[in-house]
Structure 1
Amino acid sequence: MREVAFIKQNKEKWLNFEKAIFNQRFKNPDELATLYIHIVNDLSYAQTYYPKSKVIAYLNQLAARAFQKIYKTRRQETNRFLYFFRTEIPMVVYQYRRYFAYAFILFFAFVAIGAVSAAYDDTFVRLILGDHYVNMTLENIENGDPVAVYKSGSNWGSFVGITINNIYVGIRAFVYGIFGGLGTGWILLHNGIMLGAFQYMFQAEGVLWESVRGIWIHGAMEIFAIVVTGAAGLILGAGILFPATYSRSVSFKMAFKDGVKILISTFPFFVCAGFLEGFVTRYSGAMPNSLSVAIILVTLGIITFYYIFYPYIVNKKMTLHTYDSTL
């Protein structure tokens, strides 16, 4: 069957299904699940015979939206809080996984720009970080404690202040997506270049390892979570710029709702990062290298698993469950 004929044959069904999903015009989850199977079958057919067609992206979005409706209605979890983090967030992340890829690619490109700029321009680090911070860090390095800045203040004061600041940065990264994603790009640019220049400064002073084993105890979760909020901001921007078959206002509302969910999901990680910075990082100098590395790997592993691997596991599990329940 030619692609034009395939679209013409199924277009009305897809549009009616889309309206039913958005307006929740279905009698029960099983009815929706049956319709979902038809969409998945059409998606599979399109992927097989029209691999470069734009209809694949449309059907994939439609299937993902239906998927969320099915399992939200079926109340898979009796505890709404657990359901939100165990099922709902992974499904949303899976649906928008390409925006997470965009956010990470952008961020690490900016980190590289920061590092390279610092390597070729002696004044760049001071331009980005400020003379006061650079002078203080250089003094700490001379005193044999490169990460002494993290030992200032009380444990609880640092924990609360840092957590609030990180959440504030995350909220800005998301909200600024309203400017077509450009505002979010600016937040990623600013933080990425700062991180690249910051780490190169330690490299230039010959204390890169000492900085890594201290800073990344809390930085693994903190930086990762900021990039995740950046992905939420890009989703918001895309909802405004690329409404697809929805009206722009409807597309914006859906993108905003899903983006807020992703933003909220980062809060526990920001709290954990703040706790580590306030109570653990300050003692990194006295830790054996193995313990520092273990903390870094565990924290990075947890947040990486949750946002990168776990959504695929949940999607596979839920898809199989949907097929089983409709047989």
Structure 2
Amino acid sequence: MNKHKFIQERRPQWKRFEEFLQNSSRRSLSKLEAEQITEFSQLLREVSHDLATIRSRGWGHDLISYLNDLVARGHNLFYGAPPTNIAGFYRYVSIDFPRLFRANIGYFLTACLLFFLPLGISWYVVQNNPSLATRVIPEEMMTRFDQMYSDQKDTESENAKEDETESEEEFGGSSFGDERATMAGFYINNNVGIALKCFALGILLGIGTVYTLLFNGIFLGAVSGYVISQGHGERFLSFVISHGSFELTAIAVAGGAGLMLGNALIHPGQRTRFQSLQVRGLEAVQIAGGAAVMLVVAALIEAFWSPSAVSPMLKYIVGSVLWLIVFLYLAFAGLQSDQSSLPVSQLEPSEKSGERHSA
């Protein structure tokens, strides 16, 4: 069967399935008659099989994109359930988010390139030539950094002469602040704000996301290079290593979600840009939500652990473990359920073909 004949025969089923998607919602689908639900399920399997066939024969990217969107929406509608309780939230964090992240990992890798590469270059350049920091960092902020780490150094010297209880009180009264719960709220607001900006600006064809990633990468790299060049390397690195694992990774994840929005607008396939944004935007929002959860974790670590009066070596050890945990979480969490729970659009053609034949 050639491509033209195949499309002619199958197009009515695709349109019928699309009508189901347009007229249904997660809530109303359960209220359909049993015959309608059966028809929807059958159409979902058939469209999945059609997608596998077209992919295997290479019959055009636009057609693949169109059917891929139909299958993804159908699977989410038929199998999905809104996380309305703790169990639902736990499933989202432990399974749904990491596997959705892996299914769209290309956007994350692009965001990493746009964020971490400028960060590393800026860090290296400013650390070796601190005078360049003024081109990126406001002078009043540089003065604040000098004060903060100098005050911390003085506090540590005083603490060494006092007993353990007084030492903890002095450190708690350092420039990092006594009210750590308040600081946690500040960090959450600040960090989530950056991530949401990376994500939301993707609506500007991805240009806003690219700019935000580049800007924050250059700025954070300049700050790191400057602080270390002033002789505060150990204090700075021991402070940021723990929460940095969640914080920096989450910014890149949110940036990847923003790039998904931009790509949906630039390459809508056979849909209008608004329809494409609706389809891809749902996954992007879910990924951005996962980044927000990671940033909340980062903020709590930054407020309660990072400024604690423990040895830098212990902070390095804990920080290294946290970086490993972040990697293992994103790479392997929910992996066993990938084949059973992943949107059908992400399954291999052979699996979808087998699903139809076994139905």
Assess if the C-alpha contact under 8 Å between 1:94 and 1:312 holds in 2. no
Assess if the C-alpha contact under 8 Å between 1:111 and 1:193 holds in 2. yes
2:189 is equivalent to residue 164 of structure 1: yes
**Which runs of structure 2 are paired with 1:1-327 in the superposition (5 Å)?**
5-6=2-3, 9-10=6-7, 13=10, 15-16=14-15, 19=18, 22-23=21-22, 27-28=37-38, 30-32=41-43, 34-35=45-46, 37-39=48-50, 41-42=52-53, 45-46=56-57, 50=58, 64-72=72-80, 79-118=87-126, 121-139=129-147, 145=153, 151-205=176-230, 207-283=232-308, 286-287=310-311, 289=313, 291-310=314-333, 313-318=336-341, 326=358
Assess if the C-alpha contact under 8 Å between 1:94 and 1:311 holds in 2. no
- Cα distance in structure 1, aligned partners of 2:305 and 2:258: 31
Q: How far did 1:124 drift?
A: 2.4
1:280-300 superposed Cα distances (whole Å, 9 cap, x missing partner): 1112x53251x3233223332
Assess if the C-alpha contact under 8 Å between 2:130 and 2:225 holds in 1. no
Assess if the C-alpha contact under 8 Å between 1:68 and 1:91 holds in 2. no
Change (3 A) 1:18 1:93: farther
Normalising by structure 2, report the TM-score.
Answer: 0.72
Assess if the C-alpha contact under 8 Å between 1:43 and 1:60 holds in 2. no
Amino acid corresponding to residue 22 of structure 2 in structure 1 = N
Q: How far did 1:20 drift?
A: 5.6
Change (3 A) 1:270 1:207: same
Size of the aligned set, in residue pairs, is: 318
Higher CA-based Rg: 2
Assess if the C-alpha contact under 8 Å between 1:173 and 1:184 holds in 2. yes
- Cα distance in structure 2, aligned partners of 1:242 and 1:30: 29
Assess if the C-alpha contact under 8 Å between 2:201 and 2:209 holds in 1. yes
Change (3 A) 1:173 1:104: same
1:226-274 superposed Cα distances (whole Å, 9 cap, x missing partner): 1111111111111222111211111122233222222222232222111
Q: Which has the higher contact order (CA 8 A, sep 6+)?
A: 2
Normalising by structure 1, report the TM-score.
Answer: 0.78
Determine what percentage of the aligned residue pairs are the same residue. Answer: 21
Which runs of 5 or more residues in structure 2 are unaligned? 25-35, 157-170
- Cα distance in structure 2, aligned partners of 1:280 and 1:249: 44
Assess if the C-alpha contact under 8 Å between 2:152 and 2:175 holds in 1. no
- Cα distance in structure 2, aligned partners of 1:230 and 1:256: 13
Assess if the C-alpha contact under 8 Å between 2:51 and 2:64 holds in 1. no
